[in-house]
Structures are given as C-alpha cells and as structure tokens.
Structure 1
Amino acid sequence: MRSLAGSVLRPLWLDTPLRPEPRPAVDGATDADLVVVGGGFCGLWTALRAVEREPGRSVLLLEGDRLAEHATGRNGGFCEASLTHGEANGTARWPEEYDGLVRLGIENLDAIEATVRAHDIDCGFLRGGTLAVATRPHEVALLEPEVAGFLDETAVRQVIDSPTYLAGRLSGAEECAVLDPARLAWGLADVAEQQGVRIAERSPVGRVRRAGDRMEVATPHGTVRARQVVLATNVFRPLLRRLRLTTVPVYDYVLATEPLTPAQLEALRWDPALGVSDTGNQFHYYRITPDRRILWGGYDAIYHFGRSIDAAHEDRPATYEVLAQHFHETFPQLEGIRFTHRWAGVIDTSTRFSASFGTAHGGRSAYALGFTGLGVGATRFAADVMLDLLAGEETERTRLEMVRRPAVPFPPEPVAWAGIELTRRALAREDETGRRGPWLRTLDRLGLGYDS
C-alpha cells in the first residue's frame, strides 16, 4: 500500500533524540532493601512508590534491556482509570466490588496526574476521556441508545467526522488521559532517582531465590542481596515457575501518520485530548499525538505458538496493510496522507483481562502480571498492591477479590494455540454477524477470555 511506503519499523515514542542513554548495568555484588525486577511501568511505579511511602528505603531497579523498550514504549498512550478492562468485564467478574474498583481506579488516575504535574514530567498528558464508536449496525445497541449520553450518527460526527460512524458514546474526562508513554517512563525514572532509587539497565535477571534471611537476585555481571523483591516482568518468562501459564504473549500492531496540517485536523473536528476506540472484538484504538499525528492501532491480536516472543514477529506486512486500509476507510478526507512509523508490541494477556497478584518466597517477594493492554494506568495501582503485600498490611486493596483470587491460567501447548485460534475466529465471526456463537458462550460461562 502506497501510504506505508517509506515508513520505518520503529516505535514513534522511541524515535526521538530525547531518549536517554542507558544506565550502567549491575557490576559485582550489591545490597538493597528492595529489588524491583523490570523497568516498565509496573517496575517504575513500584520503585517510586516504595520511596514515596518510605523515604530513605534502599531500592534498586533492574531492567534487562532499556527503559521503555518493550510494552511501556510501544502502546497507544491511553492511560485509563479502569482496573478491570472496562465496565462489562468488571461487573461480570466482581459485581459486589465494582463500584469500589471504579473509585479506586479514578483515584489512581488522579494520582498519576498529580505526579506528572508535581514533577513537571513533560509527557503530553491530556485528560479528555474517550469516544466509543459503532461502525456496524449491530454494534449500536452495545452503546445503550436508551441511556443518557448516547450519540446518534449525526451527533457523533460532530465530535469526530467519519463516514463509518453510526453512533457513539463519550466517557468523562475522569476516565482516561492520553500521553506519550515513553516520556512518562523516562520522567518517572528521573523522579525515582532524585528520591534515591538506583536503576541499572541491561541487567537481565536469571534467578531469584532465598538465601537465609535474604533474597538473592542473580544477573550476568553481579548479584544483589535484598530483604524483598518485586517481580514486574509481565509478558516475559516469569521467574516463578508457577506463573508460567498465567499469561500468554500477544502481539499488537500500530501505525502513525505524518503530522496533520491545521486544516486536516480542523476538518476532522477532533479534540486532541480525546481518545477513540470502536466497539468490535477486533477493535481499533486511535488518538492524536502531541505532535499532531494520528496513532492508529489494534484490530489484529496475534499469538505465536509456544508463547513465542521474538523481534521477528514485529514486522507483519499483512497486518499493517489491513490497518492502513481500515484507516483510509475511516478517514477518506485524509486521502494522500502517509504513515511514517509502524511497530508492534507484545502484551501480557490473561484470561480475565486484568492483573493477577500474589507473593512467594515466604512473603519476601511479590508479583503482578496480566494487564492485557491497560498497564499504563493500572500498574500504579498494582505497585501499591504489591507494596501492601510485602508489608503484610491488610488494606482496601489487598481485601479485594480481584487481588486475592488469581486469573485462571491458560493451558499448555498445543491446547493453548488451538484454543486461542478458535477464539480469534469466533470473535471475528461475532464482529461480522453480531451473534455470539457457542464457543464464546462456553468461555463466558467458564469466565475465560482472550483479548489485547
């Protein structure tokens, strides 16, 4: 497709001279009160919250690659209040807790905004809510036309003008912000270091074990002894064997256009603070970036046999061409616009679409994984959950059923691959027909799912 010609296989957020040089790796033996394994949002928030909650605490964060290199720097930059992957999933799984989970999620997003403002983190933070749109007739009912706030075809096209929109629903600004995720990560790292956190990059952890009354964390060039450990490796192979079926890695694909002209942006009527998603199972998410590009991602969620994670999976021409085709159908008034960047990121999907939590090593380590695409916001909440668990504190967070009861694991291969492929095809059929087939209804009854 011509609009993809000349695009670079590189995440937009990481393609900048603002990217900091990597910190030195661990070299030799060292000690800490708390070691955080993983330098994505989950690890960064945990390190920062640890020293905010207990100033003077010795915290060392170990990142196996570079900060923001993987999911943290490859997502769409939607920072959502939801801790449950949306209302439908939350009310289905935790109906008694859902109102409290909504409040906790909004408080969490408020706290993220407060951190950004207090430390002047330049990450393009805009809190404008989201627009959900129906592009097929059977999707209109999903937006609840009888409930106040529903937008019919005429009204939704006054918000953003696309001939594909049949209806829409706006969420409030309290529910979602858009931002530059890489710059948020780099900003959090700077703030954490200012408060005493040590950060080592290119320090992959090969083993975590108890050694007497301490924990021992081994890297290729040094060993760290610590009182406590947080495991924030998310999509990557867990260091705890019992977690290895908890998630599967799913590749999500994204395009970014060249910057829009003021006239192009005006023709769309699009407030850059507003993020958008459509209502299908295979959904698109899109937004205006701080430099006025359109970031356009989603639709395909690709699982590779054997839980494979490989950079070779990132360049998938068929998926990029489908994404580009859908973009041009959605915004035909942008004819001739080109894509400058294409990239993919790997997501830790769980069967319940939200994180699982727990402890190991006699309470000396804690973990969270399975954010299923909503980790930009929910990881801060997870950080406080893990720190509560390590402290042995009973809090509103640790009393939640969502925290106390983990997700149902995925099966081993080859059953995992067969089940996921069957589910993907069933979801695509539902998108086309509006009918939920027997396979999906069975998964619903079992409380299982697959998403990105």
Structure 2
Amino acid sequence: MRSPGRRPEDALDGSVLAPLWLDTPARPAPRPPLRGRADVDLLVVGGGFTGLWTALRALERDPGTSVLLVEADRIAEHATGRNGGFCEATLTHGEHNGRTRWPAEYDRLHELGLENLDGIEATVARHGIDCGFARGGALAVATRPHEVPLLEPDLPGFLDRDAVRALVDSPTYLAGRLSPDDCAVLDPARLAWGLADAAEGLGVTIAEHTRLTGLRRRGAGVEATTSQGTVHARRVVLATNVFPGPVRRMRWSVVPVFDYVLATEPLTAEQLASLRWDPAIGVADSGNQFHYYRVTPDRRILWGGYDAVYHYGRAMDGDRYDRRETFETLARNFAATFPQLDGIRFTHRWSGVIDTSTRFCAFFGTAKRGRVAYAAGFTGLGVGASRFAADVLLDLVGGHETERTALEMVRQRPVPFPPEPVAWLGIQATRRAMAREDATGRRGPWLRTLDRLGLGFDS
C-alpha cells in the first residue's frame, strides 16, 4: 500500500544525474593524453569495452605487439559505464533474431557466445578484477497474458506464476523462464577499469582525452592525427560505438538511441528478503518495450529500459541525458512491479546512448585496404559480445582467415538507416507499433513489413 499522498514519481526527489557505476571515489584518475608522435603495431581508438578487449586480446594473442589505445573522453565514460551490467552470452541479440537471420549457423553462434562468456569469466578470475561478476542467469518474465506463450510453456524450464514468484516476487508476474548459464551480472565500470589495468600490465599504452581527428594510409601503415599528436600504426581498430568516426560508411549503419536508468538506495536485508531475489539473477520482462533490472553488489535495484528514445537528426546533445518524463515513467513502473518496496527512494538517474543497428547486433568491416577494422551496432548487448568482437577485429586487421571471419554474421552488412526525415518518421512509427503490440498481443502490418525487410528497432 502506497503512503497516503505520495506519488511514485516523488521517489526521484533528491536523485543525482550520474551513472551509479561512475559515481564512486574508486574511479581511477584519467591517464595523460598523447602528446607528440607514437609508432606502434596497433592503434585502438575507443576506451569502451570493444577497445579495451581488443587491446588486451592483442597482447594475449601476440605478446610482442606494441599497442596504443586512445580515448577521446575517459575510460568507460559512455555506454560502457552507463549500462545495466548484464553480460549476456548471445552474439545475435537473442535466439529469435539469430535464428531468423542466420539459421544455418545459429547453433554454432550460440556455442561461440557461451565460449565467449566463459572467456570473460576466466579473464575476470585470472586478473583478479573486482567487478561483482556473478553468473546466475537471466530470468524472463511475462506480465501480460499474451506474453506467456512466448515463454514456451510446453518446454522444460517454464515457470508458472507461483514458480516465478518464488524466484523474484512481483504481483505483476504471470510466468517466467530462467536461462541459468547464459548471463552474468557485474559492475561494468569496474570491469572496464580492470581490463585497462590488465592491458597496461601486458604492455598496452592508454591515453585518455585524446581525440582522433584524421586517418589516412601512409606507406605500409596508417597515419592517425589526434587532438595533440600523431600516431603511425601498422593497423588500426576503430571501437567508437555510436560516435561518428573517420569511416563514412559506418555513419548510416547506426542510430543513437537513448536508454534511461534508475538506481534505488541500498535495500535493507529485510527488503531484499521480501523479494526472494538471488542477486546473481538478472531479470527482464517480455514486451517490446521492456524493463531490465538487477540487484547491485551493494543491494540496490538498478531499473532501466522501456522508453528507448531517438532524437531527430541523430542528436546526442547533453540536455537529452536528463529526460524527466522518462524517469517518471520508470518510477511508476517500478512501483507497480514491487509495491512491497513502497517508500524506497532513487538515488541515481542517468542515461546512455545505444548504438542501434537494423539487425540488432554488431556488424564488422574494414577500410584503408584492410589496414583498418571496425565494429559497431551492438544494440544494447555489447557487454559480453564486445570480447567476441575484439577477436573478430584482430582477425580482420591481421588478415587472418578464421572460423569467426568466415561466419555469415560477420561478413554480412546491415541495411543502413535512411537520412532524415525518413529515419525519424520510421522510428517513431515503429515505436508506436511496438507499443500497440505490447498492449494487444497483435503484430500489426508495419511491424510485419519490417520483419519481411529484415529491419527493426529494439532497445
């Protein structure tokens, strides 16, 4: 029962606009920027997960390689330090998307995804990275009657109302399915900082506040100009996520979609017990506009998703990071999901930009006659898939033909997004159609058309 006169939105009062993961005195001081000239075997551009894994894997695969990683801002400042901390095994944004697009190789992609998650777990243990890594699996829940069949009631592992509420107790749950092996939860910023330390320990040089300003072929390599220096590299990997880089063909392949997140104050032991929730399990509901949520290592509930927002013209200006109407929607939905936590407050609110592609998962390519490789388009599931992407990028830029580079999923390019105003109109129409499907359970003509064209929009 809600306190008299109190609205769910009031729980936002006093919250700070800052990612929970980055709002800590444990955040490392920034490394100094690059000044002058550097000559290296491999230049990595971008200090998020894709760039950090690429730098680390380069030295693990070939210890004699000289590697420089440059980051325009700070390590983990953007998507890497702003996500929910779900580290999923899937490389294809789920089974349905993978089987639909690459049916002949999906089973192998699934195996590779599990092997990749095993590799992340092993790296965390080997380097002693204190990031709260807990591999308890993912719980999908149905909150509307038409979502229950999506959880395949006739197959083993289906959870009816009582069974799912025994795992996590919410009166909104009608059914569920726990996938115990293919998801871990973690602190993404601490993982990134740990990967940076591990990479430096193997010999990588990291320069923060160093923006790439140009890229051109020179001799047998590539010359990169930065905000304060020049780098001559034999090969370059671009891991810039949604931010525009020097390869023009990448710019039409992703759009920036804002994802919004809340974090509560720490729960008491009694409050956590009232939910029956093992903190190693991450939860997501089954709608198109879905919430994802988990318990953090300090017993907060992180609550995000649902209202993915695209701004006209691919805008990413700073004032879009604080969207009151979306945060209020999140607060209301949280209150409906966990009424037993009435009175709890949110201490943090934040947002980040998802690099959304039309195929929902990462795509790959090369430029400058194979001397440059790039990846982008993870569409919200890059925490785990970025390590796999790093190995693909190193294969590509090294000219190695491997099982990874032979995958159709790696060789295929996504359908580009159209220019404005078509992109904005199409995305808004898709969001409205998705909301209608969530309400009615019926997939309308617009979404069926996108399905036939191999297009879509997802958070």
TM-score by length of 1: 0.99
Are 1:129 and 1:171, in contact at CA under 8 Å, matched by a contact in 2? Answer: yes
Q: Counterpart in 1 of 2:6?
A: none
Q: Counterpart in 1 of 2:409?
A: 402
Q: Residue 12 of structure 1 aligns to a residue in which SS?
A: coil
- Once residues 377 and 239 of structure 1 are traced to their aligned partners in structure 2, the CA distance between those partners, rounded to angstroms, is 26
- Once residues 312 and 326 of structure 1 are traced to their aligned partners in structure 2, the CA distance between those partners, rounded to angstroms, is 24
Q: Residue 206 of structure 1 aligns to a residue in which SS?
A: strand
- Measured after TM superposition, the shift of residue 301 of structure 1 is 0.5
Match for 1:249 among 239, 249, 256?
Answer: 256
Q: Counterpart in 2 of 1:183?
A: 190
- Measured after TM superposition, the shift of residue 238 of structure 1 is 2.6
Deviates more, 1:147-156 or 1:288-297: 147-156
Are 1:228 and 1:390, in contact at CA under 8 Å, matched by a contact in 2? Answer: yes
- Measured after TM superposition, the shift of residue 306 of structure 1 is 0.7
- Once residues 152 and 40 of structure 2 are traced to their aligned partners in structure 1, the CA distance between those partners, rounded to angstroms, is 52
1:34-183 matches, within 5 Å, as 34-172=42-180, 174-183=181-190
Match for 1:299 among 306, 309, 318?
Answer: 306
Q: Does 1:447 align with 2:451?
A: no
Are 1:43 and 1:61, in contact at CA under 8 Å, matched by a contact in 2? Answer: yes
- Measured after TM superposition, the shift of residue 391 of structure 1 is 1.7
- Once residues 260 and 185 of structure 2 are traced to their aligned partners in structure 1, the CA distance between those partners, rounded to angstroms, is 18
Q: Residue 363 of structure 1 aligns to a residue in which SS?
A: coil
Are 1:56 and 1:196, in contact at CA under 8 Å, matched by a contact in 2? Answer: no
- Equivalent AA in structure 2 for residue 83 of structure 1: L
Q: Residue 314 of structure 2 aligns to a residue in which SS?
A: coil
Match for 1:31 among 33, 36, 39?
Answer: 39
How many residue pairs get aligned? The number is: 451
- Once residues 52 and 173 of structure 2 are traced to their aligned partners in structure 1, the CA distance between those partners, rounded to angstroms, is 38
Q: Counterpart in 2 of 1:373?
A: 380
Match for 1:214 among 221, 231, 250?
Answer: 221
Q: Residue 259 of structure 2 aligns to a residue in which SS?
A: strand
Superposed CA deviations along residues 402-426 of structure 1, whole A, max 9, x for unmatched, are 0011111111111100100000000
- Once residues 399 and 67 of structure 2 are traced to their aligned partners in structure 1, the CA distance between those partners, rounded to angstroms, is 18
Q: Counterpart in 2 of 1:428?
A: 435
Q: Residue 123 of structure 1 aligns to a residue in which SS?
A: coil
- Equivalent AA in structure 1 for residue 441 of structure 2: G
Q: Counterpart in 2 of 1:236?
A: 243
Are 1:282 and 1:299, in contact at CA under 8 Å, matched by a contact in 2? Answer: yes
Deviates more, 1:307-316 or 1:253-262: 307-316
- Once residues 261 and 227 of structure 2 are traced to their aligned partners in structure 1, the CA distance between those partners, rounded to angstroms, is 33
- Once residues 165 and 90 of structure 1 are traced to their aligned partners in structure 2, the CA distance between those partners, rounded to angstroms, is 27
Superposed CA deviations along residues 78-98 of structure 1, whole A, max 9, x for unmatched, are 000000000110000001000
- Equivalent AA in structure 1 for residue 310 of structure 2: Y
- Measured after TM superposition, the shift of residue 56 of structure 1 is 2.0
Match for 2:17 among 9, 25, 31?
Answer: 9
- Once residues 271 and 334 of structure 2 are traced to their aligned partners in structure 1, the CA distance between those partners, rounded to angstroms, is 15
1:186-201 matches, within 5 Å, as 186-201=193-208
Q: Residue 308 of structure 2 aligns to a residue in which SS?
A: strand
Match for 1:270 among 277, 280, 304?
Answer: 277
Q: Residue 199 of structure 2 aligns to a residue in which SS?
A: helix
- Once residues 400 and 387 of structure 1 are traced to their aligned partners in structure 2, the CA distance between those partners, rounded to angstroms, is 15
Q: CA RMSD in A?
A: 0.6
Q: Counterpart in 2 of 1:325?
A: 332
Q: Counterpart in 1 of 2:426?
A: 419
Q: Residue 270 of structure 1 aligns to a residue in which SS?
A: coil
Superposed CA deviations along residues 298-357 of structure 1, whole A, max 9, x for unmatched, are 000000111111221110000000000000000000010000000000010000000110
- Once residues 199 and 390 of structure 1 are traced to their aligned partners in structure 2, the CA distance between those partners, rounded to angstroms, is 20
- Equivalent AA in structure 1 for residue 380 of structure 2: G
- Measured after TM superposition, the shift of residue 242 of structure 1 is 1.2
- Once residues 420 and 68 of structure 2 are traced to their aligned partners in structure 1, the CA distance between those partners, rounded to angstroms, is 36
- Equivalent AA in structure 2 for residue 146 of structure 1: D
Q: Does 1:386 align with 2:393?
A: yes
- Once residues 7 and 389 of structure 1 are traced to their aligned partners in structure 2, the CA distance between those partners, rounded to angstroms, is 45
Are 1:286 and 1:296, in contact at CA under 8 Å, matched by a contact in 2? Answer: yes
Q: Counterpart in 1 of 2:5?
A: none
Q: Residue 353 of structure 1 aligns to a residue in which SS?
A: coil
- Once residues 164 and 243 of structure 2 are traced to their aligned partners in structure 1, the CA distance between those partners, rounded to angstroms, is 40
| Structure 1 residue runs of 4 or more that deviate by more than 4 Å after TM superposition | none
TM-score by length of 2: 0.98
- Measured after TM superposition, the shift of residue 212 of structure 1 is 2.2
- Measured after TM superposition, the shift of residue 209 of structure 1 is 1.1
Superposed CA deviations along residues 188-235 of structure 1, whole A, max 9, x for unmatched, are 000000000000000011111112222011111101011000000011
Superposed CA deviations along residues 381-436 of structure 1, whole A, max 9, x for unmatched, are 00000101112111110110000111111111111001000000000000000000
Are 1:36 and 1:47, in contact at CA under 8 Å, matched by a contact in 2? Answer: yes
Match for 2:367 among 347, 356, 360?
Answer: 360
